[in-house]
Structure 1
Amino acid sequence: IPVPVPVLRLPRGAAGPSRLPGALPPQPVGRPVRFTLGEGVHVTAHFGATDLGVANFYVSQLQTPIGVQAEALLRCSDIISSTFKL
């Protein structure tokens, strides 16, 4: 049975429904999550938030095959799957 997971939704900004990572206040370290992206690329990060339309995920400490990005905005259209421990 799937367990519902709360989603932090950001308020709409003056420029539109989504916000850039630099415009967000500092986030506490979130739950570790693993994403599978196109071409079978696997990345891990700490989940931070999602925008109102759940079109983007804000993450921190994004670990990619070529290095670590302190903050990133992942588009849902680029994500094939995501997993995390409850």
Structure 2
Amino acid sequence: MDRLQIPGGVAIGRNPKDSELVIEHPDVSRRHSRIRVVVGQLYLEDLGSTNGTSVNGRPIDHKGQVVLVEGYRVVLDSVRLNVGRP
């Protein structure tokens, strides 16, 4: 399992020009989602992805955002990510 440090935020997608976290998978949009850190809190935002983003089995509204906490599971269509601390 790979770990990613997110000091201020990270864009997630297939396109390396638009994303710090590049996931080369056909179900992931070029600009799929973004994780932001605001006052120590993580927020996940869908960037209008084609196949959607969900957290713990609940879809995020198109271009919506949710708070992330340790242990949450993020799914970018069929790609799974886990939220944890270093």
Larger radius of gyration: 1
**More relative contact order in 1 or in 2 (CA 8 Å, sep 6+)?**
1
Q: Give the TM-score of the pair, scaled to structure 1.
A: 0.33
